[in-house]
Amino acid sequence: MKLKDLAARLDCRLDGDGDLDISRVSGIEQAGAGDLTFVANTRYLGVLRTTKATAVILGHDAPAPPCAALRTDQPYLAFARAVALFADSSRPSPGVDPHASIAADVVLGDAVSIAPFVSIGAGARIGARTILASHVSIGPGASIGEDCVLHAHASIRERCVLGRRVIVQNGAVVGSDGFGFVPLTDGTYEKIPQPAIVVIEDDVEIGANTTIDRPAVGETRIGAGTKIDNLVQIAHGVSVGRNVMLAAQVGIAGSSTVEDRVILAGQVGVAGHLTIGQGTRATAQTGIPNSLDPGSFVSGYPAVDNREWLKSSAVVRKLPELKKRIAELEERVASLEAHLASVASPDERRGSRE
Amino acid sequence: MKLKDLAARLDCRLDGDGDLDISRVSGIEQAGAGDLTFVANTRYLGVLRTTKATAVILGHDAPAPPCAALRTDQPYLAFARAVALFADSSRPSPGVDPHASIAADVVLGDAVSIAPFVSIGAGARIGARTILASHVSIGPGASIGEDCVLHAHASIRERCVLGRRVIVQNGAVVGSDGFGFVPLTDGTYEKIPQPAIVVIEDDVEIGANTTIDRPAVGETRIGAGTKIDNLVQIAHGVSVGRNVMLAAQVGIAGSSTVEDRVILAGQVGVAGHLTIGQGTRATAQTGIPNSLDPGSFVSGYPAVDNREWLKSSAVVRKLPELKKRIAELEERVASLEAHLASVASPDERRGSRE
Amino acid sequence: MKLKDLAARLDCRLDGDGDLDISRVSGIEQAGAGDLTFVANTRYLGVLRTTKATAVILGHDAPAPPCAALRTDQPYLAFARAVALFADSSRPSPGVDPHASIAADVVLGDAVSIAPFVSIGAGARIGARTILASHVSIGPGASIGEDCVLHAHASIRERCVLGRRVIVQNGAVVGSDGFGFVPLTDGTYEKIPQPAIVVIEDDVEIGANTTIDRPAVGETRIGAGTKIDNLVQIAHGVSVGRNVMLAAQVGIAGSSTVEDRVILAGQVGVAGHLTIGQGTRATAQTGIPNSLDPGSFVSGYPAVDNREWLKSSAVVRKLPELKKRIAELEERVASLEAHLASVASPDERRGSRE
């Protein structure tokens, strides 16, 4: 594609020769001749000077590169769209593979694409243009919206509901039984049935091998626009708001509420029955045992304010030194006390013992 | 269902109008007209006063609600049973779907239910009334007991054994190869074959996408009545006792023993070759590097007694302040020392330098 | 098998009766008559004295056991090979099951073994002697090398590449979409397409339900000989070197480089855009926020040098006591200060106020 055409399609200002040919999009460190790359993060500006790319997407303030530039206010977004322009946009043909198993009363929307070994239970509905890859399992009575993509081995259990444009990566499970048991007096546990459902709103993405449990009563809900990475655990009865980001291996225990625009980094854990206020952020591996006010920024285990945690962590490293300084202080104070006792007048010494 | 009939079936004392109609079970905060709800946890007693439920299951000591009550010694258990009464109890019809692949010598018990795309290897046995959902894979020689339920995409590998009434959630794996390798002198690793088996005893539940590895020798065993949540890792040669509870994302390294009635909260890690004594509890994200005596209650990384950890954690937050206080003390002591040196008699000062 | 034959095949020196019959390999604590066991770890030497095994594999320096011995420089390796000798070495017969779905232009190598419900997309290639177990999904254009084993429910997504002798455990996913989104000004996120591929080099093993994401540009790569345990997350654009060991539930964030021979224990997290130098080791649950020099040995959160962490952790447990000692010091110093002020001459006291 000519660089001038790319500039037009990405709504960027072109600095350089518009007739250059671009054949793919690459990372800044790997880019070579014919490649378009980008710098959205100032940390990579240093690499920019030596890039071998043919063109680079840049913010308006970034320094001039040694190649052509596409300038924009939002270089990361322009990069995303450039990737889309060069990606193979082929999608599977509409149609139902003869190796699929679809119950008689299933309602299939127009132009659905159903791969081999897909199983769809009685009473389920599949929205128009939705793609079900191989080995997808749709339980009885489940409802999948329009324009969804479910990758191989995704499971949507009975009666669960997915909105429109939901993407489910491989092996993810929606609607497995919540972990609910009543301890009996003999030390065994009785299972609490988990018949209620999971609702996934529009534009959600669910990562590979992530699990989202159904509850006994009420519902488990993932709000519109929320993105969930791989191997995340969402327990029964959890309510996740809109435009939330949950990184890989996060775990959220039962009945907690995660409000809109929360961002949890990798391996964060949230205890049960909490409310994590709007816009809260937690750094990786944070353990959250209590509810958090909107706008919190937390770290550590148990979670505390991030700045406080940074300060405490710095001191933790110095603890052996601090312990030594305390012991030294004790010696010096004891020495001072002994000295004062020895120089005190007999009257004082007698007095100090009364 | 009439409330008086519910009271009889749940073995509760009825306070209120027995002719009220109940149509579903709900959580205390969502309950409305026609709903039965419950309060088993004193933290929700405050919400009780304003509930819009038609009836509530309560302990004998709980205050009177603004609606009918079903009183019992075990409100949580009565709730579980109420959920079961209202849940759709339909189970798949017995029979083998024509899209299943079952080796010629497989032994199928009475009234098994086998869904599309189930694969059962040579020599396997499936107990009576067991349900295998779509895409379940049963390896050659595996044995599944009676009355089990294996949800979609569960894998039971070759020769592994499941007892009776075992429930396996979607995508769980029983019998994957343990992570065993011998480091060679050239820096590469040689795989140790892992031919031994996993044994799952009666009444175990295994969560979605949980993995339980087979060992090279001996066995991996999960004791009767144990409940395992989603995304849990049980390494090769681990022995888990009876009535153990493992919450989501727990990991147990190779050859460790987890004794009866242990409860590990979410994301806890247990190192290899340890014994975690009976009834031990660990709070979320605890890292356990050493064996623990029966009845331990631990937290933190590395794990220490929970009360000790609570105290230490409280002080960690104050470390920047403590560090400042130590520096101040050092100044004050230095000042005292200087003062004493200045007021000391010439003789004393000379003496102190010898 | 006769013990003398075993000694020859395992290249060990025989101490004892070579005509003894060995029927299986067992762990040291479970071994009985007819069993071969081993001690490679000095911690188990105590158990050696009371073993009921018929023979034991030992280092040359180990004390004499109460049974026959097979002596070698590398007892762990000899054990691994003994397990292989006794393991059922049967492999599935070559051939394609009629219940598999294979696109017309797929290239199958000689003697491949393809189980029921395997799906292979258009343009894919499967190397000679490779085994695809039930429900394996191979995306369009993917390339699987020779002598690989993919267990049930493994997913290899479109165009990804596996080398030779790669083992993929059940439910593992290679090539799911990386977690890449651009935040828009209205608070929503736009998905960045992830069309680039994952490359798995020769002799890699990937654990059950592990997920390895594909990136937008460049590639995700796992180097030759690397072994990855269960439930591990490898994000998009990560580069893992050769002969790396990643234990269960490890997570590596996007674009990080993990160099050769790194060993990460269970539940370790590595942040994005880092370089973890060659041969680095991290103990369980370590959280790594910064790049590490080759040969590092780290622990804790945030990760510090292991010895430093051991010392700090020991002091953390004593923090409540240290806090008390600081408070006591403050009292004693205040008392000294008051005392000195009271004994100071009027002149001194006046002076101290100026």
Catalytic residue among A151, A153, A236, A273: A236
Q: How far away is chain B from the Cα of A250, in angstroms, using its nearest Cα?
A: 9
Inter-residue contact A304 to A327 (CB < 8 Å): no
> What is the pTM (predicted TM-score) of this model?
0.95
Q: Is the dihedral of CA A185, A191, A196, A202 positive or negative?
A: positive
Alpha helices by DSSP H, listed for chain B, are 3-10, 45-48, 75-86, 306-317, 319-343, 346-352
Out of A83, A227, A348, the one facing C195 most closely (by C-beta) is A83
Q: What strands, in cross-sheet order, belong to the sheet with A55-58?
A: A13-15, A68-71, A55-58, A35-38, A24-25
Inter-residue contact B227 to B245 (CB < 8 Å): yes
Inter-residue contact C217 to C198 (CB < 8 Å): no
Exposed (0-12), middle (13-18) or buried (19+): which is A256, by Cβ within 10 Å? buried
pLDDT beyond 90 at B341? no
CB pairs under 8 A between B and C: 198
Kindly report, residue by residue over C81-92, the tens digit of the pLDDT. 999 999 877 789
Place of tokens 């598999």: C100
Q: What is the mean pLDDT of chain C?
A: 94
Catalytic positions of B: 236
Which chain A residues contact residue B119 at CB under 8 A? none
Chain B stretch 98-157, residues whose beta carbon is closer than 8 A to a beta carbon of chain C: 101, 117, 119, 135, 137, 139, 153, 155, 157
CA nearest to B302 within chain C = C313
Q: Which residue has the higher pLDDT, A349 or C100?
A: C100
pLDDT beyond 60 at C161? yes
Kindly report, residue by residue over B190-205, the tens digit of the pLDDT. 999 999 999 999 999 9
Exposed (0-12), middle (13-18) or buried (19+): which is B250, by Cβ within 10 Å? buried
Residue C11 to residue C18: CA distance in whole angstroms? 14
Q: Which of B81, B119, B285 to mutate to test the interface with A (most CBs of A within 10 A)?
A: B285
Lowest-confidence segment of B295-299, C40-44, C194-198, C346-350 by average pLDDT: C346-350
Out of B243, B317, B333, the one facing A332 most closely (by C-beta) is B333
CB pairs under 8 A between A and B: 199
pLDDT beyond 70 at B352? no
Q: Do C209 and B211 touch (CB under 8 A)?
A: yes
Inter-residue contact A192 to A180 (CB < 8 Å): yes
A47 contacts chain C (CB < 8 A):
no
Backbone angles phi, psi at B328, to 5 degrees: -65, -40
Inter-residue contact A247 to A230 (CB < 8 Å): no
Q: How far away is chain B from the Cα of A182, in angstroms, using its nearest Cα?
A: 6
Exposed (0-12), middle (13-18) or buried (19+): which is A60, by Cβ within 10 Å? exposed
**Average pLDDT for residues C327-333, to the nearest whole number?**
95
Q: How far is CA A207 from CA A135, A233, A236, B212, C220, in A?
A: 17, 11, 18, 22, 17
Backbone angles phi, psi at C264, to 5 degrees: -110, 125
Exposed (0-12), middle (13-18) or buried (19+): which is A209, by Cβ within 10 Å? buried
pLDDT beyond 90 at B185? yes
Inter-residue contact A143 to A162 (CB < 8 Å): yes
pLDDT beyond 70 at C75? yes
Out of A77, A116, A266, the one facing C269 most closely (by C-beta) is A266
The confidence band for B91, taking pLDDT boundaries of 50, 70 and 90, is confident
CA nearest to C262 within chain B = B187
Out of C30, C227, C340, the one facing B181 most closely (by C-beta) is C227
Q: Which of A155, A220, A283 to mutate to test the interface with B (most CBs of B within 10 A)?
A: A155
Residue A78 to residue A213: CA distance in whole angstroms? 37
Reading chain A (354 residues) residue by residue, the pLDDT tens digits are 999 999 999 999 999 999 999 999 999 888 999 999 999 878 788 888 999 999 999 999 999 999 999 999 999 999 999 999 998 777 899 999 999 999 999 999 999 999 999 999 999 999 999 999 999 999 999 999 999 999 999 999 999 999 999 999 999 999 999 999 999 999 999 999 999 999 999 999 999 999 999 999 999 999 999 999 999 999 999 999 999 999 999 999 999 999 999 999 999 999 999 999 999 999 999 999 999 999 999 999 999 999 999 999 999 999 999 999 999 999 999 999 999 888 765 455 444 443
pLDDT beyond 50 at B349? no
Kindly report, residue by residue over B249-276, the tens digit of the pLDDT. 999 999 999 999 999 999 999 999 999 9
Inter-residue contact C261 to B189 (CB < 8 Å): no
| Residues with Cβ within 8 Å of residue A177, at least 6 apart in sequence | A194, A213, A214, A236, B167, B169, B205
Q: Do A179 and B247 touch (CB under 8 A)?
A: yes
What is the pLDDT at residue C349? 47
What is the pLDDT at residue C164? 98
Is B65 strand, coil or helix? Answer: coil
What is the pLDDT at residue B354? 39
What is the pLDDT at residue A89? 72
Predicted-complex ipTM score: 0.95
**One-character DSSP codes across A52-101:** --SEEEE-TTSPPPSSEEEE-S-HHHHHHHHHHHHS----PPSEE-TT-E
Q: Is the dihedral of CA B346, B348, B349, B350 positive or negative?
A: positive
Number of H helices, E strands in chain A: 6, 38
What is the pLDDT at residue A354? 39
Task: Please name which of A277, A275, A301 lies closest in space to residue A288, comparing C-alpha atoms.
Answer: A301
Q: Which of C170, C210, C249 to mutate to test the interface with B (most CBs of B within 10 A)?
A: C170
What is the pLDDT at residue B335? 93
